[in-house]
A and B are shown apart, each in its own frame.
Chain A
């Protein structure tokens, strides 16, 4: 049973980690908590359903499911990235030099706007994912793991690996790290900070979009307020791992998923949501910068 609970927790944790990355990347660069990030994940879930329903109506799902799913994921990532890009340009960029509270309020505004926008255009009732994945899967050691669960864990791991390589090995990644360290210095050595910030939002939104589709497919049920709870949980994961730290967000997400599953299984399911925050409080008391976070040095 422990093994089964670990797999349940890992699936959940992978999704939390993907969303948490968006929070932590933006925070690392702008020191802004993008509260609207959870809504991008919600948009991802909705767009996934819309595109897949479209391909189903067009007959593509029946003839070739993998192509339909691939196109759905691709289109959703593109659309969500566009949302992320537009969000930064309209709600945050004009406030780049404003007091820190202003972009925070702007973020909450974007979040409320997106929620209501989806509610009004898509209706207030739950949407059901248009394709039912079979509940078949692997069986080992008395543990069931559906293929979809395996895919979610694998995709999360793959995306995190790719992101890590991207940040560490590419020129843009290097520029991102430089911008995170010091925006002014980065611009002085010829880095276009605007492009780097946009890229951060686009990548974060793309990851959230994938998380959204996977969750919609996994649970089969989506509504316009899923972004709120997922956003809070992912934010917790980011703080838990050390906000601003990319490996920290991955670790935080997985720890959070596991703690929720194990806590609900062995203590009481009624306090499932509380465990995440209990762990958060403990970590913050012991190590205020989070598990992998570095203590912020005074910038002189």
Chain B
């Protein structure tokens, strides 16, 4: 009897999944790719929310080219292998353009697929320089680059904190190690790098690394990586009495970072990120709408919103969803984004993208220093 019950429950739950299929319509499909599940699922959800809001606005105005816009979501789970298969799936489903991916390690292999298919891709968050350095015409990003981020972080230590003994940890990913290396490059010769080493993403115990670092008495610890590890690193370093402040990049600036580390341990952590959209008048409308619908703004929601608006404007201007024409428009047009005007360079980067230094204070992030 019990086995029959279990069988029925299984069958029932499968039917729910299958019945989710929808009717085919004449629509313009835009793919969103990012980590929708896994440790970084929050970032993917932030993406999706930002994009969905923009698409709804466009659809309320009647869509583009006389068609409605439809989102197809691709989940790469922050895994490069899955990113490639998701990219192929989105291409096969007829996406006219891609917003994504989140992780640089996913964006880079996936961009090969989009390039081959001739589809434009705009990433709201992948900051590794290599993404746009490979001569692909259709690859764009609305965020900054790690070399710009590393420059700011190094300048901050040199000019503001005036400290020299620096320990560097990275998570061995394209993004994390890339960021750490750019930071290291810009430090120049007057800083002393007393530790440089990697940890494994998904690991939970970093006390051994931190104990080795503590022994060398750093004045600051720089971490290239994402918030789950950043939170644990800060938490565990306080437990072994390593009191040096931490500094990290845009991948760690998420409320979960403070939640994992705890308010007290996270206090005084420096992070490089773009300026606070709350201080930018042009972004106010978006933030209000987002807050009303999805609650607190994720760090990359606004970039996702910008990316999809740019993509749809280019399709509208090109008057076709044909990849080559849209890519041409993306290169030639100037767009108005939440942070001001956006114009892409030949490589597909944003011409000027300002980074600033943020600080963690009383369990919140706030803007701290501008170069």
In contact, A272 and B208 (Cβ under 8 angstroms): yes
- Contact yes or no, A226 B204, CB < 8 A: yes
CA distance A144 to B215 in the complex (A): 13
Task: State which residues 200-219 of B face A: CB under 8 Å.
Answer: 200, 202-205, 207-209, 211-212, 215
Which residues from 156 to 200 on chain B have a C-beta closer than 8 Å to any C-beta of chain A?
172, 197-200
**Across the interface, do A128 and B259 meet the contact criterion of CB distance under 8 Å?**
yes
Residue of A nearest to B211 (CB): A4
**Per-residue contact bits, chain B 118-136, to A (CB 8 Å; 1 contact, 0 not):** 0000000000000000000
Query: Complex formed: what's the CA distance from A224 to B240 in Å?
Result: 27
Question: Within 8 Å CB of A146, what residues of B?
Answer: 239
Q: How far is the CA of A7 from the CA of B232 in the complex (A)?
A: 18
Question: Is the CB–CB distance between B212 and A270 below 8 Å?
Answer: no
Whole-angstrom CA separation of A125 from B211 in the bound complex: 29
Chain A residues with Cβ below 8 Å from B209 are 264-265, 269
- Partner of A269 from B42, B197, B204, B231 at Cβ < 8 Å: B197
Please tell me which one of the listed residues A1, A128, A225 contacts residue B215 in the complex, with CB atoms under 8 A apart: A1
Residue of B nearest to A120 (CB): B13
| Whole-angstrom distance between the Cβ of B45 and the nearest chain A Cβ | 8
Chain B 219-234 per-residue mask, 1 if CB under 8 angstroms from chain A, else 0? 0000000001001100
List the B side residues contacting A1 at CB < 8 Å: 211-212, 215
Chain B residues with Cβ below 8 Å from A9 are 208
Query: A124 and B200: CB pair below 8 A?
Result: no
B204 and A215 form a contact (CB under 8 A): yes
A144:B240 contact, CB within 8 angstroms? yes
**Count of interface residues, chain B, beta-carbon cutoff 8 Å:** 34
Q: How far is the CB of A131 from chain B (nearest CB, A)?
A: 11
Number of interface residues of A (CB under 8 A): 34
The answer, yes or no, to whether A221 is at the interface (CB within 8 Å) is yes
Question: With a CB–CB cut-off of 8 A, which chain A residues contact B253?
Answer: none
| B37 lies within 8 A of chain A by Cβ | yes
Asked whether B232 lies within 8 Å of A219 as measured between CB atoms, the reply is yes
Q: Is the CB of A220 within 8 A of B211?
A: no
B89, CB-defined interface residue at 8 Å = no
How far is the CB of B39 from the nearest CB of chain A, in Å? Answer: 6
B142 within 8 A of A: no
B267 to chain A, nearest CB (A): 13
Q: Which residues of A contact B53 (CB under 8 A)?
A: none
Task: Known A124-B41, A221-B260; judge A268-B197 contact (CB<8 A).
Answer: yes
A221 to B259: give the CA distance in the assembly, Å. 10
Whether the Cβ atoms of A260 and B208 lie closer than 8 Å is: yes
A124-B38, A125-B42, A273-B200 in contact; A221/B232 too (CB < 8 A)? yes
Tell me whether A8 and B172 are in contact (CB under 8 A): no
| Cβ of A170 under 8 Å from chain B | no
A185 in contact (CB, < 8 A): no
Known: A125-B41, A229-B202, A270-B198. A135 touches B265 (CB 8 A): yes
- Complexed CA–CA distance, A5 and B241 (Å): 14
A84 to chain B, nearest CB (A): 18
B262: interface (CB < 8 Å): yes
Digitize A205-222: 1 where CB-to-B-CB distance is under 8 Å, 0 elsewhere: 000000000010001110
In the complex, what residues of A have CB within 8 A of residue B228's CB?
Answer: 126, 221
A74 within 8 A of B: no
Residues of A within 8 A of B260 (CB): 126, 128, 220-221
A269-B232 in contact (CB<8A) = no
Q: In whole Å, how far is A156's beta carbon from the nearest beta carbon of chain B?
A: 15
Which chain B residue has the least Cβ–Cβ distance from A268? B197
Residues of B33-56 whose CB lies within 8 A of A: 36-39, 41-42
Nearest B-chain residue to A273, judged by Cβ? B200
Contact indicator per residue, chain A 19-60, by CB within 8 Å of chain B (1) or not (0): 000000000000000000000000000000000000000000
Complex Cα distance, B212 from A221, in Å, reads: 23
Alpha-carbon distance A128/B38, docked complex (angstroms): 15
- CB of B211 within 8 A of CB of A8, answer yes
Taking A1-B215, A135-B238, A270-B199 as known contacts, 20 extra A-B pairs with beta carbons closer than 8 A to each other, sorted by chain A number, are A124-B36, A124-B38, A125-B41, A125-B42, A128-B256, A128-B259, A135-B239, A215-B204, A219-B204, A219-B232, A221-B204, A221-B228, A221-B231, A221-B260, A260-B208, A268-B197, A269-B197, A269-B199, A270-B172, A272-B208
Chain B residues within CB distance 8 Å of chain A: 36-39, 41-42, 172, 197-200, 202-205, 207-209, 211-212, 215, 228, 231-232, 235, 238-241, 256, 259-260, 262, 265
Name 28 interchain pairs, CB-CB below 8 A, sorted by A: A1-B212, A4-B211, A4-B240, A5-B211, A8-B207, A8-B208, A8-B211, A124-B38, A125-B39, A125-B42, A126-B228, A128-B260, A135-B265, A219-B232, A220-B232, A220-B260, A221-B228, A223-B39, A261-B207, A261-B208, A265-B208, A265-B209, A265-B212, A269-B197, A270-B197, A272-B200, A272-B208, A273-B203
